Structure 1
Amino acid sequence: MFINLNQNKNLKLFKIISEVAARNNQSVYIVGGYVRDLLMKRKASTDIDFVTEQSGIELARNVALEIDPELKVSVFKTYGTAMVRYKDLELEFVGARKESYNENSRKPDVEGGTLEDDQKRRDFTINAMAISLNKDNFGELIDPFNGVEDLENKILRTPLEPAQTYSDDPLRMMRAIRFASTLQFTIEDNSLAAIKQEAERIKIVSMERVMVEFNKIMLSGKPSTGLKLMEETGLMKLIIPELIELKGVEEVEGQTHKDNFYHTLEVVDNISGNTDDLWLRWSALLHDIGKAPTKKFVEGTGWTFHGHEFLGSKMVKSLFQRLKLPLGNDMKYVQKMVKLSSRPIALITDDASDSALRRLLFDAGENLEDLFTLCKADITTKNARKQEKFIRNFEYVAVKIKEVEEKDQVRNFQPPISGEEIMVMFDLKPGREIGILKEKVKEAILEGEILNDHEEAKKFVIVEAEKLGLKI
């Protein structure tokens, strides 16, 4: 089978690489994801991998010289690879190799090999196809493991025995689930069984690498596909056990609660239809994380999860630390979303006070729209009438908040009177009184006692300062 590369936008580049390889008596093939995506007619990747049965480093240097003598070649001698950045492309050249692994590391011992050896070491049949750039068979597809058939059937299968494949490099288990989620493919039965069998091996992989794959699952069109597979294979219990704690339904005195794990997956899918923001999707994933430790059955009331949002927001930090996720603004954003996740629901009444609306505006600030996106995603009822009512109520609250915002201007609140002005007014040095007075101004504005206005705030400060024994 031959692939027609004549219409490929990189044809000129491929011809140059073919010529350079021929001049230096080297073989050369395109391999991996670029071939897969080409056959699937997906958007062309900007990463292209090339294999030669001779020196990948030498080929990279010769190709770079041919294209532009100024091009930099990044060399990784340990693995016999080299990378060239050209226009918007990353071209990686590698010498075909065999790999062998020891039990405690996913870093292989490498030795030179043939194209076939190189294809055998690939993770899945759909990534083990190669296109020849050699002059005698330019464009020929070399597919020893029937990757084309697996592409057509949407199957993920390993070229070699799956348990060995996953044991050798356990990150491939996460990659299998990631491809299942991003491509909506099915993991072949033997392969799925092998992931369950080898799940514990994920512990030898750095958490940073695991999270790269996990975040790709989170950014897929339907993340629940991957998240369910992680639960089914036992990987979720090893990586984010806090989510597994949400599983199951208990019954006391005939009263049950929903399965918060599967509810969470629905919320993640719902929000993924409305945002590509990774950390807003993470907020959906963790919004109920505090429910397992706060679950309680109260006589006469039923199941309660009192304070789960507050506890959940505190759990976010330790979870992010363990998962080696960013601990700066991204983490703080997720904490904030989790903490506020139930607040708008309490305002879905006709008598919600302006004070309550102002406080939500103040606490959510620039993230208010994201919070409403999360709250709408949290509506997982299958009753169409109930769902419509909930959404209508949220829209009603959004209108009320907009009215309050226009009137009181408390989003991204800045005090109408500064600490420096208070110090000048009362001839004070920095101290606790300044903080007390600023807090009183904020509370008075949020409660609607004074307008968010400099003159009103100034008069209010004078009155409150007297109570503290301060005089102008």
Structure 2
Amino acid sequence: MDKIQLPEHPIFEVVAAAAADLGTDAYVIGGFVRDLVLKRPSKDIDVVCVGDGIALAEAVSSRLPNKPKVSVFKNFGTAMLRAGDWEVEFVGARKESYREHSRKPEVEAGTLEDDLKRRDFTINALGISLNKQNYGELIDRFDGLKDIKKKVIRTPLEPGITFSDDPLRMMRAIRFSSQLGFDIAPDTFDAIVDYKERVEILSQERITDELNKIVLSPTPSYGFKLLFVSGLLHLIFPKMVELHGVETINGNSHKDNFYHTLQVLDNVAQVSADLWLRWAAIMHDIAKPDTKRYSSKVGWTFHGHEDRGARMVPKLFKELKLPLNEHMKFVQKLVRLHLRPIALVKDTVTDSAIRRLLFEAGDDVDALMMLCRADITSKNDNKVKRYLQNFDKVEKRLVEVEESDKLRNFQPVITGEIIMETFGLKPSKTVGELKEILTEAILEGKVKNEPDEAYAYLLEKGKQMGLRQVHSSNN
């Protein structure tokens, strides 16, 4: 049998000693073993014992120097403790049976064989013995090691049963495939196609958790293509599927916005690991199907898709159970602004246009420029090179204007409170109008964002609106 060299860490010998004292067999199992074979860093250890996992966790804790707290999850028969920055979870070997309308199994004590059978994929059904008679020996009942070497995702048992019992495993198959760059075995993929409707019993939170891991994988388009071809994407994110396809009228065709979006997503993934910037890539053209029009004069247009898309973002985030917080607002902002930098590539662009972009993008201007660069997906290399050179010019202008005007996240020095105090006003539409007039003047370069000059401009505009000054500013 193959032997696996465990990492240099006392936790493994402590678990082995505790299990021996309890008269039980123990094994490191699952993802930790897979990652050890793949030489991927991991500090999450799953220990299975043929007996009481909670008792083993307590015994291990008592042997560790600082006697770490054991968190017990009685409903699941599991326990967890931390050994330094390593997290160790303990469970007794078990076998499972499922009911049709639930992915929560009925669990009973079982053998190591039973426990390995219930694993989702062969690459996760590997174990390493912590027992004296065969310490370090690889337990591989389903040729998981061979599948790792062949880079194949395959289920230990008949895939239809595996996916019908727990349909989340279909999402996990695609997630592992995308994360690891593995292929899904043909019969396993066929079963995903056959049982895809079973995802309807899953909570949206569990689906989105796997979806986010696909989004964060090295080449996320691979996972999305598998979701699309299997039919899962049609069920979990139908709005994205609407991007797919090319329509031709009078010989004029538009590009396939689904595959364009995947290319933009991959381009972003090459320069940023930020989950929300990647979601901005996914959403940036989401409104194109709703705004698509054909004209014999100009061909295909998608006018206003950036604004329509920005308005769609909160609803899509809510449906996907993504957070409705600053992350959603970040994605919404980038979707709304993603066409703006391309309009600034002309030599004649004004400082006021640059100021407005800085004002609206704020601290997210760098992320916006990353998205805009990623959005250049033409097959014409010269065109791509020309566009990217133009973006270099825009970024240079952004830096120059920012250095001179300090406009990133700027606020007019004249606040709403000063306006109300100056003219004896209460909160009202008039106060908002004056603030907007002042902001516009600063962005247009008519007035510097300095107290004396801005206040004088305010008095002039107030007078034109028939307002009387009742209080002088302290500025």
TM range (shorter): over 0.9
Match in the other structure for 1:3: 3
Question: How many Å apart are 1:67 and its aligned residue?
Answer: 1.2
Question: How many Å apart are 1:428 and its aligned residue?
Answer: 3.4
Q: Verify: 1:450 aligned to 2:447, yes or no.
A: yes
Question: How many Å apart are 1:436 and its aligned residue?
Answer: 1.9
Query: 2:235 and 2:86 mapped to 1: Cα distance?
Result: 36
Q: Verify: 1:23 aligned to 2:48, yes or no.
A: no
Match in the other structure for 2:303: 306
Match in the other structure for 1:366: 363
Question: How many Å apart are 1:65 and its aligned residue?
Answer: 1.3
Question: How many Å apart are 1:68 and its aligned residue?
Answer: 4.4
Match in the other structure for 1:34: 32
Query: 1:216 and 1:23 mapped to 2: Cα distance?
Result: 40
User: Aligned to 2:288, which of 291, 304, 310?
Assistant: 291
Between 404-413 and 49-58, the greater mean CA deviation after superposition? 404-413
User: Aligned to 2:275, which of 257, 278, 290?
Assistant: 278
Q: Verify: 1:405 aligned to 2:394, yes or no.
A: no
Match in the other structure for 2:472: none
Q: For residue 409 of structure 2, give the secondary structure of its aligned residue in structure 1.
A: coil
User: Once superposed, what is the RMSD of the aligned Cα atoms?
Assistant: 1.2
What is the one-letter code of the residue matched to 2:220? P
What is the one-letter code of the residue matched to 2:322? L
Question: How many Å apart are 1:299 and its aligned residue?
Answer: 2.1
Q: For residue 111 of structure 1, give the secondary structure of its aligned residue in structure 2.
A: strand
Query: 1:207 and 1:74 mapped to 2: Cα distance?
Result: 27
- 5+ residue gaps, structure 2, are 470-475
User: Aligned to 2:12, which of 11, 14, 23?
Assistant: 14
Q: For residue 75 of structure 2, give the secondary structure of its aligned residue in structure 1.
A: helix
Question: How many Å apart are 1:417 and its aligned residue?
Answer: 1.3
Query: 2:337 and 2:221 mapped to 1: Cα distance?
Result: 23
| Identical residues among aligned pairs (%) | 53
Between 29-38 and 12-21, the greater mean CA deviation after superposition? 12-21
Q: Verify: 1:151 aligned to 2:167, yes or no.
A: no
Match in the other structure for 1:206: 203
What is the one-letter code of the residue matched to 2:232? L
Q: For residue 71 of structure 2, give the secondary structure of its aligned residue in structure 1.
A: strand
CA contact (8 A) 1:255 1:302 kept: yes
Q: For residue 300 of structure 2, give the secondary structure of its aligned residue in structure 1.
A: strand
> What CA deviation, in whole Å up to 9, does each residue of 1:132-159 have, x standing for no partner?
0011110111101001100100000000
Match in the other structure for 1:182: 179
Q: Verify: 1:103 aligned to 2:100, yes or no.
A: yes
What is the one-letter code of the residue matched to 2:254? H
CA contact (8 A) 1:409 1:452 kept: no
CA contact (8 A) 1:280 1:370 kept: yes
CA contact (8 A) 2:4 2:138 kept: no
CA contact (8 A) 2:56 2:90 kept: yes
Query: 2:193 and 2:466 mapped to 1: Cα distance?
Result: 70
Query: 1:159 and 1:62 mapped to 2: Cα distance?
Result: 32
Query: 1:214 and 1:429 mapped to 2: Cα distance?
Result: 49
Q: Verify: 1:222 aligned to 2:219, yes or no.
A: yes
Query: 2:13 and 2:246 mapped to 1: Cα distance?
Result: 61
Q: For residue 82 of structure 1, give the secondary structure of its aligned residue in structure 2.
A: strand
CA contact (8 A) 1:98 1:111 kept: yes
Matches within 5 A, 1:358-437: 358-437=355-434
Query: 1:179 and 1:39 mapped to 2: Cα distance?
Result: 15
Question: How many Å apart are 1:420 and its aligned residue?
Answer: 2.5
Query: 2:4 and 2:182 mapped to 1: Cα distance?
Result: 26
- 5+ residue gaps, structure 1, are none
Question: How many Å apart are 1:69 and its aligned residue?
Answer: 6.7
